[in-house]
Amino acid sequence: MKCKSNLFLAFLFLNLMTFAQKTTIIELKSGWKFAKGQNEKAFENSFNDSKWQSVTVPHDWAIYGPFDKEVDKQVTAIVQNGEKVATEKTGRTGALPYIGEAWYRNQFSVPDLNKDKKVLLLFEGAMSEPKVFVNGKKVGEWNYGYNYFYFDITDFVSANAKNNLAVHLSNKGESSRWYPGAGLYRKVKLIVKNKESIDQWGTFITTPVVSDDLAKVNVKTKISGENLRIITKIKDANGNEVATNESNALFGNEFEQNIAVKNPHLWSPETPYLYTAISQLYDGDVLKDETSTRFGIRTIKFEPNKGFSLNGQIRKFKGVCLHHDLGPIGTAINKAALRRQLTILKDLGCNAIRSSHNMPSLEQLELCDEMGFMFLAESFDEWAKPKVKNGYNRFFEKDAEKDIVNLVHATRNHPSIVMWSSGNEVPDQWGAEGVKRAKWLQEIFHREDPTRPVTVGMDQVKATMESGFGALMDIPGLNYRVHLYDEAFKKFPQGFILGSETASTVSSRGIYKFPVEKAVSKQYDDYQCSSYDLEYCSWSNLPEDDFILQDDKPWVIGEFVWTGFDYLGEPTPYDEKWPSRSSYFGLSDLAGLPKDRFYLYRSRWNTNEKTLHILPHWNWKGREGQTTPVFVYTSYDSAELFVNGKSMGIQKKNNTSPQKRYRLMWMDIKYEPGTLKVVALDKDGKAVAEEEIHTAENPYQIKLEADRTTLEANGEDLSFVTVSVVDKNGNLCPTATQQLNFSVNGKGIYRAACNGDATSLEQFHLPTMKLFSGKLVVLVQSTTEAGAIELSVTGKGLKSAKIALQSK
């Protein structure tokens, strides 16, 4: 009996010891102290932070404002926009107070620290130029605010004691062309593992051979230690083990395993199937480390005159460019906000994302894997030649290689990534030095990841034709320059062209200008852009110019529209006007509310659902009898328009102009209040769908609609509640601009609001805001307690509204 007891205790001890060997990852989310205005030299390990602000990380210190035209006011000529003369730019970086120095401080303990352990400190992004101190000693620094990096802090930490962590950040003016954010805006993690373990980002999974019956999964695993063995198990999406492999053949510091998966499920935007590889590192029978890596089984190929294929099927990129801010919550990463963006883009029919012009968050890539988006992961907006005085050009020669290495190693197992970008519109496109830099960067990507091609977003296309710059790229990416596509195709040897950045059409949600006509860089007294979608920038074009290339040229492999959502900063065409502090390029506005242009792209891209959308709104008091054109964006080829029941005729898409090929337009409609109705027709002229809008009466009540009514009680989940003002019949009041007030009760808090108005100077975090074109969005955030949440919205002269949410 005693023998059995001893055996049981030995077995229990072995299991506890084995479990204790696994890597521990601790997210340093709470307990942070923050102070702005403290320079690096002011740091002493004992300084008093009792009056510092308590914050959670991720954190963006600048998003709380206020907006100020003096912030980062630049006198410059924007070369990328074709400007020759320097002028004052006041909203280029969002007019938010991101410039300056700041400190973050926290304390942490290291569990089970002993001589056989090592401790890593991982930052997924810090804006910018972070210098990191542990227990008063500097452990390292990293210049690029968009990069992921980590330090081995084993020699700086103490066991059985609180360890002090301090991070100094410095943001210079004239360091960005858009709002960069400020602070520890992505996650910070403490990683405790054995010295004999799998290296950080040491797993690299590829699928070099794929058929219907069998996939070869290649797993390379870099480790620290000797005389070890590795077992890798592959599990399907339901957690069932489908393959396993064991190896003790160590080549240098790397294992390489080839594992057969039978009857594989392939990853694609339509079927984003994910497997998990569990790699276990053993010393004898003792588990030293274990990592789980999600991956997808898929093949990609770029071929001359055929273009891009995924899993053997030719397809085109229906993509958008995205800057990294999340509108009213700034750059602080939030998975719920990212998921909402991608949900909206799924409805659009979008299948690809370009991270512009910087390295993406890990959360964004995880969601793209899950939800099915192909990804163009970009690295830099600058190389050695500057666009802005204090940009990445200061660090390029010293840091570019290590920044690319970290980008590739941290993200290469994401099946969503199908290509890399080493730069965007870099001034280095001119001259021999630029060609050498392009080649050097591309070779770094190839060395670190031989499975994916590399592109650069080129705007100086004539120069890259002559210099050889464009010819050496795996994928020639053209930013705009639609008039040069044919010439580029003839001169470049690759046999295809990618629209790496397209359109830059500008509009303001719900704003319409007359007369309705094409216009370049048009400006108005209210600093808005017309949502008839006929206005664009001096260097760019209308959507149809790209549609024609995509549809008529098989060697054009797709496009990435500038941009999926409005973003903070770069308020073209009002760079020189105040107040104007965010962009007009988005298919959706800064609040995530779709503009009319969203439906123009949806009518082409969403092949699973039909689109039928009318513009403009039909509230034009004072325009009675005046010409008020009506556009319809639809996936149907023809439709009939009715004003108050009277037919205005049938329009059919045709090739007489680029616009008539993709839009239905009634240019001579005279405005009269009432009902505007469109009836879509099939090829036989039969009515198959209809849509109508009505002239609204006076604003009467508030209407609330949440994207999600159930939240996770984790202190960071969000519900986005669209707030509209309607008349007594429920019709949207599209010109309403009333001031509304918000309050949240229960187990949630008010986080922010946004109305999508690029000229609004109202601060997002204050619980009040004006409507813009009859709408705005309120963000409600969960706490760490489960329970009921209620949002109340009130406005003078309006019937108030409440909505019930739940946190679990």
- Residues acting as catalytic residues: 425, 501
The 3-class secondary structure across 266-308, one letter per residue, is: EECCCCECCEEEEEEEEECCEEEEEEEEEECECCEEEECCCEE
- How far is the C-alpha of 329 from the C-alpha of 568, rounded, in Å? 11
The total number of residues shown for the chain amounts to 808
Helix (H) or strand (E) holding 793: strand 787-795
Half-sphere exposure of 63 (CA within 13 A, CB side): 27
Residue 552, classed as helix, strand or coil, is helix
Contacts of 148 (CB under 8 A, 6+ apart): 122, 123, 124, 125, 186, 359, 362, 406, 407, 410
Q: Give the CA distances from residue 406 to residues 149, 233, 279, 457, 567, in Å, rounded to whole numbers and listed in that order.
A: 7, 26, 21, 21, 26
What's the rounded Cα separation, in Å, for the pair 208 and 190? 34
Nearest one of 359, 388, 364 to 374, comparing CA atoms: 364
Residue pair 428/434 in contact by the 8 Å Cβ criterion: yes
Q: Which helix (H) or strand (E) holds 27?
A: strand 24-27
Task: Specify the amino acid at residue 562.
Answer: W
User: How many of the other CB atoms lie within 10 Å of CB of 690?
Assistant: 13
* Euclidean distance between the first and the last CA atom of the chain, given in angstroms as a whole number: 48
Instruction: Answer whether the bond into residue 203 is a cis peptide, omega within 30°.
Output: no
Asked if 645 and 657 touch (Cβ cutoff 8 Å), the reply is: no
Amino acid, res. 695? T
Q: Please state, as a whole number, how many other Cβ atoms lie within 10 Å of the Cβ of residue 494.
A: 22
Cα dihedral: 331, 334, 339, 345 (round 10): -10
Structure tokens at 799: 């019937």
